[in-house]
Chain A
Amino acid sequence: MSVSIATDLLTGPPASQDSGPPALRIAAQADSAQLKDIAAAGHVAVPLPVLDDHHFNRPMNRRLADGEIYRLFFESESIDLLYDIETAAMTFVPDPNGTENSVTMTHSLFGMPYVVHFIDPITETMQQVDWPVRWQLLEHPGWIKWVWDEAHARELQRLGVTNVLSMPMAVGGFNYPTEPLPHRPTGSPVLFLGHPATSWFKGDAVRPADMRIGLMAAAAKADDPALCFHEFYFDLYRIAEPPNAGMDPAARAQAAATYFQTKFTYNVFLAVKQRDRFVHFLQRNLGDQFDLVGDFWSDCHGMTHKPSLRGRRALTDAYRNAGICVNLFKGNAETGLNLRQFEVTAAGGFLLTYDMPELSRYFDVGKECVVFRNEKELLDRIRYYLAHPDERIEIALAGQRRALSEHLYSHRFTSLVERLSLSPRAAGNGSRAAGNR
C-alpha cells in the first residue's frame, strides 16, 4: 500500500554522497530494546529522557507536563526521527502559533518525523484521553501510525486517520542459538504461549440487540473469509458512510466510535475463532502433552495454565525446548501477523500457526513454518510433525534463517527509513511553527 506523508515532516538536507546510507539519530524510550535495534540498523540510538510515567494510556495533562521535558531535550539534541511504541512518547506543549490554550505535539516544533508503532489496536491506546481528542490526534497528519495488520490500516484510512503505514511486526535482535533443535523435545511436546483473546464471556450481562451487526459481519466473513470488517460495514452492507472532511470533527469522532463499538462483537467472534477455541481444544485433547503458558486463562475460561514467561532468554528457551509452538491470533487481527510469529521463528522454534492472509508474504508456508485452519488440521499436523523430527527441525532452521535475515526490528528500521525517505537533518534544530491543535 502507498503511504502519504505530510511534506513538512520530510525536509532536511539531501543524503551525503558517502558510501552507505548515512546514520540517522533516532530517539526512542530509554532502556528499551528499540535502542539496540536502532543501532543494529546502523543508526544512532538516542535515549529519550526518562519520565515519571510514560504509560501509553496517560491523560493529556500528564503529556502536557512531559512536553516541556521533551522540548528541552529536542532543543539540545539533533533528532532525525522520533520512534515510539503506542504513543508513550507523545507529548504536548503550548502552541506558539495558536490561540491561548491550544497545544501542539512537541516534536512538531522541531519538524522531525514521529513514528508510532502500534502493537495493540489503535483504539486501545491513550485511553485516558477523551475520545474526541484522541480521534482528532489520530486524524492529524503530524505523525505516522505504523500498524501491523493491513485490514486495520485500511480501516483507519477509511475512517480518516492520516499517515497510516502498514508494516509487519518483527522481533528484537538477540543472540539466538542457531544450532538445530534436538530430535526429542526437552520441553513440552506442544506449547502455546499467550493470554486469552477475550474475557468478554466472564463479564457482565450483554444485550443481544447490540450484537446483531457484529454477528452479521461474522456470518458474512464465514462465507467469504477474505472479507474484512470495514468492507462489510462501508461497502457490502453500507451500515454508514465513512467519515469525510465535510463533517465537523465531533461528528467524525462519533462516527469512528460507532464503527468500533459495532465492530466489538465481531472482534469477540474472531477472538474465539482464532485463538481461545483452539486453546480449549488442545487442552482437552492433548492433556499434559500441551503446555499453556500465559495469564488469565483460569479467570477467563476456567483453564489451568502456567504463568507467563518474561525475558528474551526464557522465551527463546521455551520455544526451542518445545516440540511444536502453536501460534494463535487475537480478535483484533484480520490479516496480519502477531509478534509470536517472529519470536518463535527467530528463536529457532518450530512454528505451527493459524493461517492468516498476510503470512505467505513473509514466510514460505510449508518450508519455514506450517499452518492449520481448523481443529482437524491442527491435530493432524501436531501428530505428523512430532512423528517426523527431521522435517520439523529443517522447517525450524529455515524459519529461523528467514526471521533473522528479514524480520528483526533492525530490518524494520531500515525499511522505515527507506520508505519515509529520511535523511539526517541539518545540525541545530530551531523551533518551527506548527498548526493549531
Chain B
Amino acid sequence: MSVAIIGDGWWRSACEAAGEDHFILPPAVQPPANPYSADARARMAAAAGWREQFEQNRPECIVDNGAMGLAFAVDSQDAGSAKLFHEVMETPLLSQWIDPLVTVFQGLPWNAAWPSLYSDTWHKFVWDKPQADELASFGVPSVHHLPMAAMDRDYKTDLLQADEAACAVSFVGGQNTTYFQAQRSIPAESLVAGTLAQSVRAEMPDVCFYDVFFNLYRFVEPPRADESVEQRAAKAQNYFNHKLFYNAFSCIKQRDRFVIFLKHRLGDVFRLIGTNWDKAYGLPCEPQIASTDDYFEHFRKTAVNLNFVNGNSDSGLNMRHFEITAAGGFMLCYHQDEIDELFEVGRECDTFRNEHEMLEKIRFYIEHADRRKQIALAGQKRTLSEHLYSHRLRNMLNVLRDGKPALAPSVESATAV
C-alpha cells in the first residue's frame, strides 16, 4: 500500500526514510504561489487530475500539509453539489497543520471550508495543543495533536570548533502580522475579547483563547453537539473574528518585541534574517536564505540561534525548533509550554521568559562555547532520533493503521463536543 503525497515537500523524504511506498500528486496551486490560496475551482481541477493516479495506485492514505489535499469532486448523484475527493475515493486524508485554520482556508469560502472539517476520514494533525483542543471543542472529529518536525536529510553531525561560529546571534523568521502597520481604524469593541484573553493569560498562561471566550467569560454560548454544522460554522466564524486581535497581540508578545529589542540593543551583532521587518519596524534585515544547504549551515555556524514562535501558536513549537537542532545549532528560544515534552531544557536547548533573561543567556552562551556545543550536540541527537518528519509520519500512520493516538494519551486532543 502506498502513500499519496500532495506536493513535493518533506513528506517525500519522510516516506523514503520510513520505508513507505509513495507517489506525488501536484497541489492545486503550484509554488511559488501560496498553496493556501487554492480556491474551490482549483481544488476541483486538482482532484480531476489526481483521479487517474489514484485508480492506478490505490493509496492507503493521502498525506499533506495544511489541507492541500482537501479537494472536491462533483457529486455524481447531484451535479449541483460537490463531495470531498478523499471521501469519494474512500481514502483517508492525513493533513499536518502548521498554520492556523483561518490561514489554511484563505482560498475557500468559510461555508465550504468549515463543513469539510467534519469529515471523519480527514485526520487533522495540529501542531499546537490548544488549537487542536479548540477544533475538537467545535465538534470537529479526528483531530490529533502532533508537533512539527524537521525534514529528513543528511545532516552534518561533526562538532564545530569553537572559533568556527561565523555569527554570534541570529534569528531566522519573518514579521508576520500587518495588524499594527496599516494606517486604518477598527472598532474598539473588536479588541475586547483579545484584550481580556491576553490579560487572563498573563496570570494563567495555560488558559487558551477558547477557554476564555466560551467557558470562563462566556462571550457567547459554546458550540453544542446538537447544533447543526452550519450553526457551528457560524459560531466558529464569529469566534475566529474575535480571536484576530488576540493573535496579533501574541505576534507582538512572542516574537516582534524581542526582535525589536535585540536589534536596538545588539545592533549588527544580531543578524535578522526574514521578510517584512524593514517595512513593519524599519529594522535592517536580510532576505531569506535561498538554498537548503546554506540554511542549515547557517544554524551550525551561528553561536546562538534564537527562536520565537509566531502569534498563531499558544503552546506549540514551530518548525525552526526542529530545524535548528537537526542542523546541530545551539538553540535559545522563548519558552513555550510544549517544549518540555519534546526537549530537555538546559541540556538539549535552553529557553528564556523575558528580555532580561534572554540577554543574560545570550551573553552566557557566547562566553561558554563548550557548554553551548554540548547542548547543540544533545539537541541534535534528540531531534534526529525523535523529531524528523519520518517520525511524525509513523505517528500519523499509527493512527490510521492501529487506531493508536498520535502521541501519548496525556497529550492527545480533547474529546470532541
Residue of B nearest to A301 (CB): B192
Residues of A near B253 (CB, < 8 A) are: 215, 219, 222-223
Q: Is B189 an interface residue (CB 8 A)?
A: yes
Query: A62: shortest Cβ distance to chain B, in Å?
Result: 34
Q: Roughly how many angstroms separate A242 CA and B180 CA in the complex, as a whole number?
A: 26
Complex contact B257–A200 (CB within 8 A): no
Set B179, B199, B260: member contacting A273, Cβ < 8 A:
B199
Residues of A near B184 (CB, < 8 A) are: 207-208
Given A238-B264, A269-B199, A201–B189 Cβ distance below 8 Å? yes
Complex contact A220–B185 (CB within 8 A): no
Set A207, A219, A373: member contacting B249, Cβ < 8 A:
A219
Q: Is B33 an interface residue (CB 8 A)?
A: no
Q: Roughly how many angstroms separate A225 CA and B204 CA in the complex, as a whole number?
A: 13
Query: A352: shortest Cβ distance to chain B, in Å?
Result: 16
Query: A41: shortest Cβ distance to chain B, in Å?
Result: 39
Residues of B near A216 (CB, < 8 A) are: 252, 256-257, 260
Stretch of B10-18, B351-359, B392-400 that contacts chain A: B351-359
Q: Roughly how many angstroms separate A273 CA and B195 CA in the complex, as a whole number?
A: 8
Q: Roughly how many angstroms separate A204 CA and B185 CA in the complex, as a whole number?
A: 9
Complex contact B354–A220 (CB within 8 A): yes
Query: B319: shortest Cβ distance to chain A, in Å?
Result: 23
For the complex, would chain A's binding face be called helix, strand, loop or mixed by DSSP majority? helix
Complex contact A206–B191 (CB within 8 A): yes
Set B183, B196, B200, B354: member contacting A207, Cβ < 8 A:
B183
Residues of A near B196 (CB, < 8 A) are: 272, 277, 280
Query: A354: shortest Cβ distance to chain B, in Å?
Result: 10
Residues of A near B390 (CB, < 8 A) are: none
Given A208-B180, A216-B252, A223–B195 Cβ distance below 8 Å? no
Set B182, B188, B199, B260: member contacting A200, Cβ < 8 A:
B188
Residues of A near B371 (CB, < 8 A) are: none
Query: A232: shortest Cβ distance to chain B, in Å?
Result: 9
Q: Is A236 an interface residue (CB 8 A)?
A: yes
Set A204, A221, A280, A375: member contacting B204, Cβ < 8 A:
A375
Q: Within B80-135, which residues are at the interface with A (CB < 8 Å)? A: none
Q: Within B204-219, which residues are at the interface with A (CB < 8 Å)? A: 204, 216-218
Q: Within A325-384, which residues are at the interface with B (CB < 8 Å)? A: 373-376
Q: Is B248 an interface residue (CB 8 A)?
A: yes
Complex contact A374–B182 (CB within 8 A): no
Q: Within B137-168, which residues are at the interface with A (CB < 8 Å)? A: none
Q: Is B291 an interface residue (CB 8 A)?
A: no
Instruction: Identify 12 new A-B residue pairs, CB closer than 8 A, beyond the known A218-B198, A222-B253, A224-B355.
Output: A201-B188, A203-B188, A205-B187, A207-B183, A219-B249, A220-B257, A237-B264, A269-B195, A277-B200, A277-B217, A281-B217, A284-B218
Residues of A that sit less than 8 Å from B by CB: 200-209, 211-212, 215-216, 218-225, 227, 236-238, 268-269, 272-273, 277, 280-281, 284, 373-376
**9 pairs of A and B residues whose beta carbons are closest in the complex:** A273-B199, A219-B253, A205-B185, A222-B202, A223-B354, A374-B203, A224-B354, A212-B180, A216-B257
Interface pairs (22), CB distance under 8 Å: A200-B188, A201-B188, A201-B189, A201-B195, A203-B188, A208-B186, A209-B180, A209-B182, A209-B183, A216-B256, A219-B252, A219-B253, A222-B202, A223-B253, A223-B354, A224-B356, A225-B202, A237-B260, A237-B264, A238-B264, A277-B217, A374-B200
